[in-house]
Amino acid sequence: MRSMSGDFSRSIERMVRKIIELRAFVEATLDFPEEEGVVVVDERCLAKQLVAIRTDLQHISSLAKQGNILREGAQVVLLGAPNAGKSSLLNLLAGEEVALVSDIPGTTRDTLRQVLQIDGVPLHLIDTAGIRETDDILEQMGIARTRRSLEQADVVILLVDESNPVHIDYHALMDGAPRSVLIAHNKIDLASKPAGVRNEDGVDHIFLSVKTGDGVTDLKKSILAAVGWHREEGVFMARARHLDAIGQAIYHLSDAEQHIAQLELFAESLRLAQNSLNQITGEFVPDDLLGEIFGKFCIGK
Amino acid sequence: MQASDKFDVIVIGGGHAGTEAALASARMGCATMLLTHNIETLGQMSCNPSIGGIGKGHLVKEVDALDGAMAAATDEGGIQFRILNSSKGPAVRATRAQADRLLYKQAIRTRLENQENLWLFQQAVDDLILEGGGVAGVVTQTGLRFYARSVVLTAGTFLSGLVHVGQSSYQAGRAGDPPAISLAKRLRELALPAGRLKTGTPPRIDGRTVDYSVMQQQWGDDPAPVFSFLGKAVQHPRQLPCWVTETNAHTHDIIRGGLDRSPMFTGIIEGVGPRYCPSIEDKITRFADKSSHQIFLEPEGLHTNELYPNGISTSLPFDVQMNLVRSIRGLENAHILRPGYAIEYDYYDPRALKRSLETKAIPGLFFAGQINGTTGYEEAAAQGLLAGINAALHAQEKESWTPGRNEAYLGVMVDDLTARGVTEPYRMFTSRAEYRLQLREDNADMRLTEIGHKLGVVGEVRWRAFEEKREAVVREEQRLKATWVNPNVLAEADALRVLGKTIEREYSLYDLLRRPDVTYDGLMTLPGMAQETATEVAQQVEISAKYQGYIDRQNSEIEQQAAYESMALPATLDYKAVRALSIEAQQKLNQHKPETIGHASRISGITPADIALLLVHLKRGGRTKAMEANDAA
């Protein structure tokens, strides 16, 4: 695995070079229309180069996302009815006793955080107080925190007591946020159901027993898939702001594709795409671009 | 003669920078004296006989929007007008004209002679009078003393000018004019940071000895466009064509054979020449695989046979020049009227200037034009205008004015010069402007005329014409926004013809105009939609409708940047005291003393990390290490 940030910078610099080369052609066409030395760019050639750059950048983005997961990890929130076994699951995944476990519903009053690794991916697992109406002030405070944790979650695991299903409207809690949801059906040993994974409407339902350990491997796999981890060669260690910058660049390149026939708008989108990547590589000034143009073309009557 | 020896503003130099500076200062009501070594050469085009082009045309329109002379003089002296890049979009579209040197010069001279508050005087300037650290006036070559609150120096290539033809060289301001040696020496004593640049011109050719029949003819656009917002095509004199030919392998052999006697290639010339305007010997050396280079023969005027062969600027020895010219198709029997030459001259590092073009070292002294390391008539005129405005403001004890990078090419140029300096003669290109989509020729008046009027540099005639146009644009925009096209009323054939498809609901004309493939003219052909509108008004409405989205996006970029632009850096700040700043950054910042954080960010070698450190330093109240040491003790 490539983990050096130097590799990442170098690939971004390569993409910036390619954008600069393309810009040199476009800007030369705009600033020196009468120079015979300037190769007139045709639209098909522009489109081809543009798509090549965008595709490469998308690949880098994907590698960087993996690296970002390895670097930053993911926030996983455990949610479920009181006594569904959230703390037990947390302990099982973490391999140690971190949460106070008892049979009395509502024992976990605080959100508990545990950092653990599955397949090398760091996960910030957050055990929450159960969601239910309560008069207990302490528990109410816990529930307020639960809602806050949810706002930051990448993945939410809903833990359901398969032996004693209680209807809770979780959908209200899921509102809008771009996160994955897994539904873990616990205590299949008591409900006499087999372990396994079923996908319904794009949501994984994992049947397991924390007590016997059946189905826990399936849950781990589902968690990794949900955080977006898929082992890939040559992962880049990148920061979240780098990912944002690449995303912006891809957006501007797609925009450029819409404007191939309007050269000055095409040029503007390329400029913005390069600006986005410059947030990673550092500053670039118009004079450098002119240097590129004068190096390439014989300009000057 | 002049009323006294006291003026508000003195301008030294009568080229494109000096004349615009003097006219601007006088328009603003300042008693202004223009000193030139020769009144006959006021407004002289000393290089190619053309004005405008891409980026440069933009500057000319801006000068015009501020009521300067260049565009109007070109309308009166232009013998060929073209719009370049017309198909590539309004922002990169630009006007260019070939000008008759005499007519152009005459147009400028007439304006100078008839400008209220302006006095012309023929005397070379040898020295500056300094009082209390600031400038107080000038001393001429015969010892005459003139006093003023502000002095604008526009010495062009005349400061220690050195002309090269082959191995021989002589001191000159340009071929045929004396250089300004004493003034250069005096300026060197003032220890302003100076450097040496180089530029060149081609040999001029006698048109009677040219065989046009083997060349391609190139006429201007028909109908001919105008340069000035107030211009009319009827002002144009008779129009002429240019002629196109090219160099060949034989030409290149001749040039290569002469390189051992080239002042460029033998190291006699030390000044740095521009990358975009190379000599022909440069071109065949750097692009050795090219077997020919185009040459445009440009007429110098209506009443002369002299031609300017654009594309073969050279400082090779005269015998080589002769042979290379005669190796070119159509020029086999050409007679050279004047040899080509290279000229080296002093320039002052523009990083020693404020953005008002006032020198940081000597209050009241302004520099404009080629002396600041630029090249081109248009670049000079625009700087001259700005220096004239600020010299007048300084004399009136008012705050200086400089447009931002998002307001004008003039702003881009001044910011580039003062923040980054020059490594070669600086020429304007549209790719230098990050906000190019809004810095268009067509809206130069919308961007600048109102502020110009407030500054007092725009006269009443232009102001009234501008107000009328602006109101017409607003009215037409309102009409388009209030006029609805109903799908039930719009005939399918009309919809397909004008919009390319039918509409499913009601749209305003303005909404329809924003679509990429819909034109204003097209919309006006829909039944009942037409209304008489001036072309420039319709054009303004159409472009702003289509570009609004882009311009909004750029505006948000500008807003982000604006915070930095308004964050002032005290001139007294010692950058050594800024914690964690690299030695290189400390030195650069101490050397340039940028005026704002934005300015600092554009100094070459200053990284975003340096800027972050500066911001932290400002937040901490600019506390020095010494103060911290005191606290600790």
> Of A263, A282, A293, which has the smallest distance from its Cβ to B88's Cβ?
A263
Higher-confidence residue of A40 and B195: namely: B195
pLDDT of residue B627 exceeding 90: no
Interface predicted TM-score (ipTM) of this complex, two decimals = 0.84
Q: Do A33 and B91 touch (CB under 8 A)?
A: no
Question: B365-367 and B145-153 as β-strands: parallel, antiparallel, unpaired?
Answer: parallel
- Separation CA A218–CA A194 (nearest Å): 12
pLDDT of residue B423 exceeding 90: no
Chain A CB contacts of B437 below 8 Å: 264-265, 268
Give the distance from residue A72's alpha carbon to the nearest chain B alpha carbon, in angstroms.
23
pLDDT of residue A235 exceeding 60: yes
Closest CA to B8 of B20, B19, B27, B16: B27
* Averaged pLDDT for residues A91-103: 61
- pLDDT, tens digit, 9 for 90 and up, residues B598-618: 888 888 777 767 887 888 888
Q: Which pLDDT score, from 0 to 100, does residue A141 have? A: 54
Q: Which pLDDT score, from 0 to 100, does residue B631 have? A: 45
pLDDT of residue A291 exceeding 80: no
**Per-residue pLDDT band at A295 (split at 50, 70, 90):** confident
Which residues of B, range 501-520, sit inside 8 Å of A by Cβ?
A: 516
CB-based burial label for A248 (10 Å; 0-12, 13-18, 19+): middle
Higher-confidence residue of B59 and B272: namely: B59
Tell me if chain A has a CB within 8 Å of the CB of B285: no
Which residues of A, range 247-266, sit inside 8 Å of B by Cβ?
A: 262-265
pLDDT of residue B395 exceeding 80: yes
Q: Which pLDDT score, from 0 to 100, does residue A2 have? A: 42
Higher-confidence residue of B625 and B136: namely: B136
Q: Which pLDDT score, from 0 to 100, does residue B633 have? A: 41
Q: Do A268 and B550 touch (CB under 8 A)?
A: yes
Tokens describing residue B398: 């008012």
Whose tokens are 């030409």? That residue is B251
Q: Which pLDDT score, from 0 to 100, does residue A67 have? A: 82
Q: Which pLDDT score, from 0 to 100, does residue B2 have? A: 46
- pLDDT, tens digit, 9 for 90 and up, residues B86-118: 889 999 999 999 999 999 999 999 999 999 999
pTM score > 0.80 for this model? yes
**Per-residue pLDDT band at A149 (split at 50, 70, 90):** confident
Which residues of A, range 37-76, sit inside 8 Å of B by Cβ?
A: 37
Q: How far apart are the first and last CA of chain A?
A: 53
Q: Are B147 and B137 in contact (CB under 8 A)?
A: yes
Contacts 24+ apart (CB under 8 A), B563-567: B564/B596, B564/B597, B564/B598, B564/B601, B564/B611, B565/B404, B565/B596, B565/B597, B565/B598, B565/B599, B566/B596, B567/B596, B567/B597, B567/B598, B567/B615, B567/B618
Least confident piece of the model among A195-209, B265-279, B493-507, B614-628: B614-628
